[in-house]
A and B are shown apart, each in its own frame.
Chain A
Amino acid sequence: MNLILFIFIVLLGFTSYYFGRRKAYTIQSTNKRLTALPQFYGYYLAIWCAIPAFIIFSLWAIFEPTIVKLLILSDYSNQGYLDDELNLIYEKTKALSRGQFTGEITPFIEASAEKYLSLRSIAQSSKAVIVLSIIIASGAYAYKKISSNSRTREPVEKFLKVVLFTASLAAILTTVGIVFSLIFQTIDFFKVIPLFDFVFGTHWYPAKAFVRDSSEALDPTMYSDTFGAVPIFAGTFFIAFIAMCVAIPIGLMSGIYLAEYASVKVRQYAKPLIEILAGIPTVVYGFFAALTVGPFLKEIGNSMGLDVSAESALAAGGVMGIMIIPFISSLSDDVITSVPQSLRDGSYAMGATKSETIKKVIFPAALPGIVGSILLGVSRAIGETMIVVMASGLAANLTLNPLESTSTITAQIVVILIGDQAFGDPKTQAAFALGMSLFLVTLCLNIVALRVVKKYREKYE
């Protein structure tokens, strides 16, 4: 029913476009000057026919269940039920009305189910009637407008603006929503675990929290020395550091090569090839690191008499670095290319060689942009999950030895949230606290990166 109504509204929108446009041609044929191009008449009519109906349709879909629930549960009010029990009654009613209820059927529930069904059918038919009458009303209004040849271009343009604004608003609201969902859980977490213990504790062992029987009362003291985030923050930055040690030199040098040395032909093929690296799914990098690079490093290490873990920070960081190369090379290639040719000419004309020009003129001029690209690379390295989960182990060792395994914020979030978990439990909330800290770190990095890039733009545009 809903689907049919929806398709009907969409089809109506399309047909009314052609209808409106034809109307415009009719007006034109009477030698009247149109106020806008004929398609604006079409758009105008289509918008008026479809959009108000669609808005009502959506609002109805959002509020109908709530209202029906209220009406059903009003029968049970003043009977001393708790909220949870009321919810259960409502679920039972719904299940019964669908014929999927298997438990004991009480007369109360049966009556409610009948009421539910009748309410739903009333709602469905009144929805259809209301939507149709709105289509007729708004469509007639619009048709009258275009028949009298009044302005259609401005309303259509305004409507487009509103649509675009809504789209960006949706993106922003989602971000805000995510932040809020993090904030509340994080606050709950810090009610149990002191902030100080989290930020300065050196022992991360959330598995200890898994041991707790959920029927036991929450005892904050049992979590002491469990959620010290220092090892995983250290691990995160350490692996990101290893990754940047690989990505910055290689990415930067290949960026400089592409921008300054490569002939048009080489660039034409090399640039897309490097960018293929960016298209490889991170899970593929993950098993490349875990199954190829890790064991390879272990073998080399063993042959040199070193004790190398198969899940070493070096393997994870190194492969992560390879993953980030295309970001840095592609972005730095772009900023280097956008350094004005006149600066190169000026330097060459002074007798500077290519490498002198790059080192002394182009690189300093492009530096802010390059720093920006590096910071974006760092925030990717810190946020990267799959490679670390697969290749660097899950035990949070506090170590600076790249040959040992260590763990990162992202990997720990995965560990915590995989499988069954109870909401309202500190071990689950720990994931939110970690997510929040990760979000803050990358946010700061991105802000700095954007500022630096912006500063660079001001210089040349």
Chain B
Amino acid sequence: MSKTSKKVPTYCFQCVSGPDLIKVEVEDGVATRIEPNLNICGQHPGQGTPCVKAYGLVQKTYNPNRVSQPMKRTNPKKGRNEDPDFVPISWDEALDTVADKMKEIRAKGLKDNSGYPRLAVSFGGGGTPTRFMGSFPAILAAWGPADLGFGAGQGVKCYHSEHLYGELWQRAFTLEVDSPYCEYVINCGKNVDASGGATGVRRGAEARRRGLKRVMVEPHLSVTGAMSAEWVPIRAKTDAAFLFAVIHRIIKERNWAEVCDVRFLKEDTTSPYLVGPNGYYLREPGTEKPLIWDLADGQAKPFDGNITDAAMDGSFQVTGLEIGADDEVWQHEGVVVKPAFQVLLDHMEEYTPDWAEVECDVPAETIRRIGDEFVAHARVGEMIEIEGEMMPLRPVGVALGKSVNNGPGGYHAVWARTLLSVLVGAIEVPGANLGTKVRLNRPANNKHLSAVSSRDGIMDFPFNPTSKAEWASQPRIRNGYNTLVPLSSSSPWAPALGPAHLPWLFQKEAPDNWPRPTLPDMWICYRTNPAISSWNAPEVAERISEFPFTLAFAYTKDETNHMADIILPEATDLESLQLSRIGGTGSGEQFWKHQGWMIRQPAVKPVVDAMDMTDIATEIAQRVGILGEYNIAINKGAAGMKLVSNQFDYSLEPDVAYGVEEIWDRVAKAASHDLSKGEEIHDLAWFKENGYMLREFAQREWYLYPYMKERGIRFELPYQERIKRHGVQLANRLHEVGVEWWDGQLEDYDPLPKYESFPDIWTNYVREKGQDPDDFPFWALTARSMQYAWGANVGIPLIYEVAENVAGHSGIIINMQAARKLGIGQGDPVVITSATGVTRGNAVLRQGIRPDTVLMIGQFDHWATPFAKDLNLPSLNSVTDIALSLTDGTGSGSDIVRVKIEKDLEVLKRANS
């Protein structure tokens, strides 16, 4: 029998570290296999190989548990224990029901009495859903205000402090080390060999073979720790103390003037800026420019003046003015001031390695040695030629894991990390820590364009204003990002980067002097399962059940769409069409020397009665009566590429409902036109055949430092004057309207962060819940799994099968000796209890974990998702909580909780009977 066979190029973007290009083998119309797209081997930094998750897509397509047609709920009661009684309906009925609801909202007004958008929308983590939702963003653009701040995968449990402070300091939404040149990395718990995608793993492996030494500092020996030269088993959530002590080693115990990059510190950072007695920069009267003391002639000069030898330490008598919060001004005559670096030297005095040894349970000598290794490898003073241009070579990096840099202590860790880089000039130069992309600064597709100087000679940043005149007393959405978090800015990504877990909390318990937390009239969720992926997931599930109308795009039933009113099955990864940007720089070491566009195309027809997201979006737009606005939004770039410019016009007619192929054909032409400057215009058919289109992207673009140097911008380290000012102003504003419940978060607004014993926050929370911390002797943590992270693939048995080969995928990891003391044996069923929740699973006894720590990989504890609900896997999300006292100033919490572990007597009894 003759068979037809083809290999269809498409992409996998299931995780934030993508994309990876793949080929789908299709035989007789059946997608049979996935393989790497090695055509792009020479250009893709992962050389065309996708990670393990991509190979789950075939089973994802043919999963018999898929939602096979639109459904509506017939049981009005919602809850975990309520059967939704979904019944199949036609696409017409489903879309009409959705459109009617949306029209009803438009008739009532887009915002409710509390001023909150009546429509709320949640997407899954890392921005990856936009790579699958076709033209759906145009619906949002056409709609008007919507609340995108109900945290799910996106917005909670992210690299939160890194996102916010990273963009502030170095236009780095996330940071990676420049692996091709790096020689030494201090990594505090960043599990890059599990979460860094194919590209991150490949570049990391190449770097190791070249001689990169990585020291992994984390409470459990992760996959990345395994691949590191050294594992330092640190006490959970004390990473900032460790980093503070490394800094102390370098600037206090070693001679900083010898081991640091002094030229860089003087010329390219705010280290020499003089700090006045009130904690603000001392400024030149008149120009209000921050002053620097020039040792050459013993004078204070504005930062951009003719300075020969900027003073870094000591104290000086200077005349000038300080500008504090709310424009308070202090005029000083001959006041004694210090350079910011001297303030830093004073500040770090107490954070000795011996102090840190007690806090972190890491030997002081280890800390000292790591500090020494770091400066030894920094190669201060060396240069390297990149594309004909000489740049500093600083082959040292510091990486921070998710739970290190989010939640309380996050600011301290990211500040210390960035300061370490800055001390040796290892920031945004070859070999050093590099930002990947911007999400808060604009434009989104070029991280350099927003790097412009503020009047103080540092990078400007779009803070949400805190001044009396401009502060937004009315939160735009329920998480209040624009009101509470100046650093979250106001880009389209900002809602997800505010305190995205607070809506769930406020919905249960309204805070004082704050708009009444209302329920959204309609909630849309897409590629997200907050009823599993949030802190205190069981509680969030209850909150979701209170929503009056939920539209869920669904692949299989899950814990979130269990509460849905309408379920729409979208054509999944291998069944639908989209063009997406590729190349440039991005998360997971996506550092390319090319950029361009790639296609995701239907390898097979939808296996169930599913629709392409673009067609769904167009249908909704038409039925709601916003087709014109929708098409215009696409023309403006809502589908990833603007269709009209002064060079080309492939725009859609506003009043025509276009099919998915037509829309993406126009995107294809606009994208190729834009990329090739009109020289090579390709239609959709070309992309379907060829898979991708690339143009060169200069390696120089990887590095921000050359741009900053050109534009005379300094790194704003070590001293955080702006943070201090915003903190005071924000406190003033909030207190003016009677908001006192954010006071704890305001403590983070320190110009130089002070260490507090962060683990105590979670210990005290146990007391807050009326229980004794001694009853909960373990720190429970989580770690990413490459097999599952971001993939929403827990219902795919093939993924489960191969993931089982990696320790921890069958239960909760506990130190072998600690388990034995509790009488817990390998594989024993255990119950894990915190002050607020409980989860169950089997014990996995290992050596690579501290005796005071337990680890639950991934996010499980499913109760509705087919296949996954029978896995009996525990989840940290079932035992963590959402609380203001666990939230930091940026509005994030952390994946850590105190727990106790006991043998699960119920299961044992059942087994015995």
Chains A and B are bound partners: no
B residues engaging A (CB < 8 A)?
A: none
A residues engaging B (CB < 8 A)?
A: none
